[in-house]
């Protein structure tokens, strides 16, 4: 395989390897440079641009053994012996997603140590493992959204070979893998791409820095090839596309549609479903509408609105963007319509926001959650619901997450009410960057009225260590009870057809604001929730049978259900009992 690099911003490119003279690359069309040098697995190399002498890593490097500022190492993805020939994949519809961060999922913080915990996920009953970004960033630990080499797997996690072992181990256990990827920005340290070519629009910025230059055909190809790499060379079953609202694209065919089209072609070729899930702040179902209906044809998108409504109902917190979700009717709306802001006024944004979802779109195309990495980690103290809610409140969140009409997603440790926070942590080696990150974080939250003592320093190694799961907790009574509830709920969802019915029309809901109860109807099955402290008695179909209760003192009699404070009941009408 010849060496190729896109570098239109330089008049000269040399390849540098240890202990041999530099080799000049030959300029070809459209800013590409090439050489017929053949590298073996593990061979180190880099590029020297122009008449300078500084080594730069390959923009498409698969491995950076000594970090993002040093030489790349050649990696042959075909050298791995896969054992997943019989793997036929999983469709997202009907599935349950489990989001995890490799560095804090286990004490070891590596892909190989994560393999040791996969049987826990099998016992839990989830079907998809969604991995926060693993592409290479500067430093040792990070959430992953500061990546600068999108093709390389972070060496501290084990590098690309370990990633292949991880995916193979997941498939051996029947678990599909979704990889979180970031195409809307690059990290602040180690980004040498602008030296090679116009990867960024320096005059246009988003929340995280300069916008990616989607006007350049080679940059678009860089993104699409990266997406296909994960699914081809690493056998992943799909991608979670970070913050797609920050992709500024004026091309006739949006980059998301291009990715979807090529992913669908690859799925047909490999003979298994491949999933694309977008994170979007737009509340626009165009992302998940069929291309025949002028949509992009992605598989699914996150719905933060469901989280917000559930969070407010369970916690009573109504500050910031939670304000619009204060009425319990907000939970009714998101349970039946998908989005709360669907052309309504958003007080947080100060504008009308969102669009209605076409009810013909399957409900499984929305991914919803009670907790996730953003909604925990972007709180001042990175506190989970387990640090603020009682056991009854946590059980309610579990019920309304796993029995929602949508595709449910859990965040690692949620299933046993982990006591550990998940905080914002970085390890920028540059003192000035680390200081700026810490000071910016502190200023952001103190401006919102937080006591600065509760805001951890992201550069302090203890912030990272505090965020690691404590697996020994699952054997404690409270944590063990919560884990068993999550297992029962996943099993109930899987074995009860009403909970995976994809029709918006199959869902109805009602609530009482004063008494603080909520009822969701799915065919012959009802989910009853009492958010209040006092007990509530609700009418139910005569002879209804309880399928699950979160409180042992809950009662379902001939025509009524008695729910203690902070509890939930799932029941089925008598004629439909199986």
Is residue 532 in some structural domain? yes
Backbone angles phi, psi at 519, to 5 degrees: -130, 130
* From 279, 372, 415, 501, the catalytic residue: 279
- For 56, the domain range is 3-77
Is residue 63 in some structural domain? yes
| CATH number, domain containing residue 66 | 2.60.40.10
Residue 243 labelled as part of a binding site = yes
Active site annotation includes 242: yes
* From 242, 284, 342, 457, the catalytic residue: 242
Extract the tokens encoding 472.
Answer: 């020994």
Query: Is residue 278 within 8 Å of 245, Cβ to Cβ?
Result: no
Number of separate domains in the chain? 2
Residue 69 labelled as part of a binding site = no
DSSP 202: E
Q: Where are the beta strands (DSSP E) in 320-456?
A: 344-346, 351-353, 366-369, 407-411
411: left (phi over 0), alpha (psi -120 to 50) or beta: beta
Is residue 65 in some structural domain? yes
- The angle formed by the CA atoms of residues 457, 461 and 463, to the nearest 5 degrees, is 50
Residue 138 labelled as part of a binding site = no
Extract the tokens encoding 493.
Answer: 């969802």
Q: What radius of gyration, in Å, describes the C-alpha atoms of the chain?
A: 25
Is residue 42 in some structural domain? yes
pLDDT computed for residue 31 by the predictor: 96
What SS3 state is found at 280? coil
Provide the pairing of β-strand 13-16 with 23-24: antiparallel
Residue 373 labelled as part of a binding site = yes
Active site annotation includes 317: no
pLDDT digits (tens, 9 = 90+) for 146-174: 999 999 999 999 999 999 999 999 999 99
- The angle formed by the CA atoms of residues 484, 179 and 406, to the nearest 5 degrees, is 50
| H/E stretch holding 477 | helix 477-495
pLDDT computed for residue 577 by the predictor: 47
Residue 240 labelled as part of a binding site = yes
Is residue 550 in some structural domain? yes
Backbone angles phi, psi at 327, to 5 degrees: -70, 145
Backbone angles phi, psi at 409, to 5 degrees: -130, 135
What SS3 state is found at 437? helix
Residue 377 labelled as part of a binding site = yes
Q: Is 19 buried (19+), middle (13-18) or exposed (0-12) by CB count in 10 A?
A: exposed
Residue 242 labelled as part of a binding site = yes
- Asked which of 19, 47, 77 is the last residue of a domain, the reply is 77
Residue 233 labelled as part of a binding site = no
Determine the longest span between alpha carbons in the chain, in angstroms: 87
Quote helix, strand, coil % in the chain, to nearest 5: 35, 20, 45
Is residue 32 in some structural domain? yes
Q: How far apart are CA 400 and CA 378, in angstroms?
A: 22
Query: Is residue 385 within 8 Å of 371, Cβ to Cβ?
Result: yes
- Asked which of 51, 77, 103 is the last residue of a domain, the reply is 77
Query: Is residue 244 within 8 Å of 256, Cβ to Cβ?
Result: yes
Q: How far apart are CA 183 and CA 246, in angstroms?
A: 9
Q: How far apart are CA 546 and CA 538, in angstroms?
A: 13
Query: Is residue 364 within 8 Å of 275, Cβ to Cβ?
Result: no
Is residue 235 in some structural domain? no
DSSP one-letter string for 36-61? -----TT-EEEEEETT---EE--TT-
β partners of residue 507? 522
Stretches where the chain sits below pLDDT 70 are 1, 575-578
Q: How far apart are CA 469 and CA 413, in angstroms?
A: 7
Closest CA to 253 of 296, 204, 301, 223: 296
pTM (2 d.p.): 0.97
- Asked which of 13, 42, 77 is the last residue of a domain, the reply is 77
Is residue 122 in some structural domain? no
């Amino acid at each position: 395989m010849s060496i190729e690099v896109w570098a239109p911003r330089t008049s000269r490119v040399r390849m540098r390897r240890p202990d041999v003279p530099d080799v000049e690359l030959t300029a070809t069309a459209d800013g590409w440079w090439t050489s017929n040098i053949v590298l073996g697995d593990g061979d180190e190399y880099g590029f020297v641009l122009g008449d300078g002498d500084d080594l730069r890593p390959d923009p498409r490097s698969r491995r950076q053994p000594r970090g993002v500022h040093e030489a790349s190492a050649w990696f042959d993805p075909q050298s791995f012996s896969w054992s997943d020939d019989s793997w036929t994949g999983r469709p997202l519809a009907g599935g349950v997603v489990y989001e995890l961060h490799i560095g804090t999922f286990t004490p070891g913080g590596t892909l190989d140590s994560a393999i040791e915990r996969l049987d826990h996920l099998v016992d839990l009953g989830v079907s998809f493992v969604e991995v926060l970004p693993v592409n290479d960033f500067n430093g040792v630990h990070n959430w992953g959204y500061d990546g600068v080499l999108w093709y390389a797997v972070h060496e501290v996690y084990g590098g690309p070979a370990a990633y292949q072992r991880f995916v193979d181990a997941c498939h051996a256990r029947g678990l599909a893998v979704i990889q979180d990827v970031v195409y809307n920005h690059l990290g602040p340290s180690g980004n040498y791409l602008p030296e090679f070519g116009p990867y960024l629009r320096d005059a246009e910025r988003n929340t995280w820095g300069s916008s990616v230059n989607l006007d350049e055909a080679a940059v678009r190809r860089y993104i699409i090839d990266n997406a296909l790499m994960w699914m081809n060379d690493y056998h992943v079953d799909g991608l979670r596309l970070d913050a797609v609202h920050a992709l500024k694209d004026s091309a006739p065919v949006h980059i998301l549609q291009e990715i979807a089209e090529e992913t669908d072609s690859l799925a047909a070729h490999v003979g298994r479903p491949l999933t694309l899930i977008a994170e979007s702040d737009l509340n626009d179902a165009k992302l998940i509408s069929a291309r025949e209906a002028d949509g992009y044809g992605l598989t699914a998108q996150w719905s933060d609105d469901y989280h917000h409504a559930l969070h407010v109902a369970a916690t009573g917190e109504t500050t910031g963007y939670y304000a619009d979700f204060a009425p319990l009717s907000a939970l009714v709306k998101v349970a039946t319509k998908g989005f709360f802001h669907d052309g309504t006024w958003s007080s947080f944004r100060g504008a009308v926001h969102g669009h209605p979802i076409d009810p013909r779109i399957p409900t499984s195309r929305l991914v919803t959650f009670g907790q996730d990495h953003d909604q925990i980690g972007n709180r001042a103290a990175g506190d989970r619901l387990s640090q603020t809610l009682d056991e009854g409140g946590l059980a309610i969140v579990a019920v309304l997450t796993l029995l929602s009409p949508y595709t449910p997603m859990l965040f690692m440790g949620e299933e046993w009410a982990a006591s550990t926070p998940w905080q914002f942590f970085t390890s920028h080696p540059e003192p000035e960057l680390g200081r700026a990150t810490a000071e910016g974080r502190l200023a952001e939250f103190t401006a919102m009225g937080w006591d600065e003592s509760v805001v951890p320093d992201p550069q302090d190694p203890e912030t990272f260590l505090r965020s690691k799961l404590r697996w020994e907790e699952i054997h404690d009574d409270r944590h063990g009870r919560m884990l068993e509830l999550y297992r029962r709920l996943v099993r109930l969802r899987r074995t009860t057809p009403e909970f995976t019915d994809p029709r918006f029309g199959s869902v109805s809901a009602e609530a009482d604001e004063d008494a603080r109860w909520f009822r969701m109807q799915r065919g012959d099955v009802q989910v009853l929730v009492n958010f209040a402290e006092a007990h509530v008695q609700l009418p139910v179909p005569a002879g209804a049978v309880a399928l699950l209760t979160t409180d042992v003192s809950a009662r379902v009699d001939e025509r009524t259900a008695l729910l203690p404070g902070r509890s939930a009941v799932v029941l089925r009408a008598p004629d439909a009992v199986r």
